[in-house]
């Protein structure tokens, strides 16, 4: 894996800050709930940026489900909400790119692609496993 240059890292950090603010203030799509930008990975030529986001809460009653559709898993609704938020962000990528061009001094404004960052959910899951193991261990000790 190639080492990331300091310039690319600085641009990625600045892009992360700008996108976090722009998504909060400028994106008015109801499918986008509380979104946190957790990281930006840029190509070496600064032409492409993979933006990693987490979706914090549920969208205000917008699930994208037709009436009468049953879900088989409890987390299926969350997965649908996450997918809808990512689709909405990817559809707003051109608009966000235009706003980034106005705010940042870049020769080439990167093409944005949004991805869901599962690290927060995975961390919460592992933390709950550790808590359950500690609780089970404390029950078995005399």
Report, as an integer, the average pLDDT of 35-40. 94
Residue 60 has pLDDT above 50, yes or no: no
Residue 142: pLDDT band (50, 70, 90) is low
Q: Which residue has better confidence, 19 or 60?
A: 19
Phi, psi of 133 (to 5 degrees): -65, -40
Q: CB burial class (10 A; 0-12, 13-18, 19+) of residue 20? A: middle
Q: What's the confidence (pLDDT) of residue 74? A: 43
CA 122 to centroid of chain Cα atoms: 14
> 31 is written with which tokens?
């499918």
* Buried/exposed 95-111: b ≥16 CB within 10 Å, e otherwise: ebeebbeeeeeeeebbe
Residue 35 has pLDDT above 70, yes or no: yes
Q: Which residue has better confidence, 80 or 17?
A: 17
Report, as an integer, the average pLDDT of 22-44. 92
The domains of the chain, with CATH numbers, are 6-140 (3.30.300.20)
Residue 66 has pLDDT above 50, yes or no: no
Residues 7 and 16: their CA atoms lie apart, in Å, by 14
Contact criterion met (CB below 8 Å) for 86 and 32: no
Q: Helix, strand, or coil here: 67?
A: coil
> 61 is written with which tokens?
């009653």
Q: Helix, strand, or coil here: 30?
A: coil
The order of strands in the sheet holding 111-116 is: 35-42, 48-55, 111-116
Residue-averaged pLDDT of the chain: 85
Residue 73 has pLDDT above 70, yes or no: no
């Amino acid at each position: 894996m190639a080492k990331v240059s300091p310039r690319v890292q600085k641009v990625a950090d600045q892009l992360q800050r700008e996108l976090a603010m722009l998504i909060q203030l400028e994106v008015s799509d109801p499918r986008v709930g509380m979104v946190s930008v957790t990281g930006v990975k840029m190509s070496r030529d600064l032409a492409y940026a993979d933006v990693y986001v987490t979706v914090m809460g549920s969208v205000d009653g917008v699930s994208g489900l037709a009436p009468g559709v049953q879900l088989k898993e409890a987390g299926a609704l969350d997965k649908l909400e996450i997918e809808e938020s990512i689709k909405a962000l990817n559809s707003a990528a051109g608009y966000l790119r235009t706003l980034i061009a106005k705010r940042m001094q870049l020769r080439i404004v990167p093409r944005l692609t949004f991805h869901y960052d599962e690290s927060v959910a995975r961390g919460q899951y592992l933390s709950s496993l550790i808590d359950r193991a500690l609780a089970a261990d404390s029950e078995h000790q005399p």
